[in-house]
Amino acid sequence: KKPVIAIDGYSSTGKSSISKVIAEKLDLIHLDTGALYRGVTWFALQNCTDGTDTINLQELFSSLDQIELEFRNHDGELILYLNHIDISKQIRTPEVSDNVSLVAKQKEVRDFLLHSQRSLAEKGGIIMDGRDIGTVVLPNADYKFFLTASIDERTNRRYFELAGLGIQTDREQVKQNLIDRDKIDSEREIAPLKQAEDAIVIDNTELTKEETIDLILSHINK
């Protein structure tokens, strides 16, 4: 039977891009759960504000049943659709990054997204990355990894990732967003960002993406 793998960790430690490569190598499905929280946040910014960038949470909670999230396979890459619109690029904007942790700490939102994450893993053969996969979503995963790296290295990675998407930002703003999100994600009451007791911790500050992938694969192939 193909494995179920949980990858958690701090923002911009490479969780998603690393998980994507491992999924290709081991022929697994890859689910980037952060994209789901970003999708709900994008929806809220479109539909649940009074024209400012302040989300009305009560309005969001009562609108959750209007959200249909779906990943479609485009040549092996899963693209996120919200109510049949491709939002894979919109969810990376700084506006979404600045609001996502507030949205993600709400019980209503986490409950809304939990079921679909779990049901995707029922058949095995999946690698899921996020903040609470090894602790809450898939506590019985076959393998659990927890990624961490220094804040400056993570800032660099996110900065270049955004530049690659054509999104111009400044480095200090990127850094502050990572610090703020990690703080809210770690301190929230429900499903906080923390390593599962049985997770293998990898600090990849000094590792390339390929070295991190090889290290993870060496644990799986043991």
Residues within the interface to ligand C5P (CB under 6 A): 11, 33-34, 37-38, 100-101, 104, 130-133, 181, 185
* Tokens describing residue 171: 């480095």
Residue that is written with structure tokens 């995707």 in the block: 120
* CA atoms of 198 and 48, how far apart (whole Å): 39
CB 67, min distance to ligand C5P, A: 15
Q: Using the minimum distance from each CB to ligand C5P, give the nearer residue, 20 or 27.
A: 20
Q: Using the minimum distance from each CB to ligand C5P, give the nearer residue, 27 or 119.
A: 119
For residue 79, which phi and psi values (nearest 5 degrees)? -110, 130
CB-based contact 121:4 (threshold 8 Å): yes
Instruction: Give the burial class of 164: count Cβ atoms within 10 A of its Cβ; 0-12 exposed, 13-18 middle, 19 or more buried.
Output: exposed
CB 62, min distance to ligand C5P, A: 21
Question: Which has the closest alpha carbon to 191: 8, 69, 36?
Answer: 8
Cβ burial 174-195 (10 Å sphere, 16+ → b, else e): bbebbeebbebbeebeebebeb
Q: Using the minimum distance from each CB to ligand C5P, give the nearer residue, 81 or 221.
A: 81
Q: Using the minimum distance from each CB to ligand C5P, give the nearer residue, 188 or 221.
A: 188
CB 136, min distance to ligand C5P, A: 8
CB 36, min distance to ligand C5P, A: 7
Q: Using the minimum distance from each CB to ligand C5P, give the nearer residue, 50 or 143.
A: 143
Helix/strand/coil for 107: helix
CB-based contact 69:39 (threshold 8 Å): yes
Q: Using the minimum distance from each CB to ligand C5P, give the nearer residue, 3 or 34.
A: 34
Furthest-apart CA atoms within the chain: distance in Å: 54
CB 8, min distance to ligand C5P, A: 7
CB-based contact 96:42 (threshold 8 Å): yes
CB 184, min distance to ligand C5P, A: 7
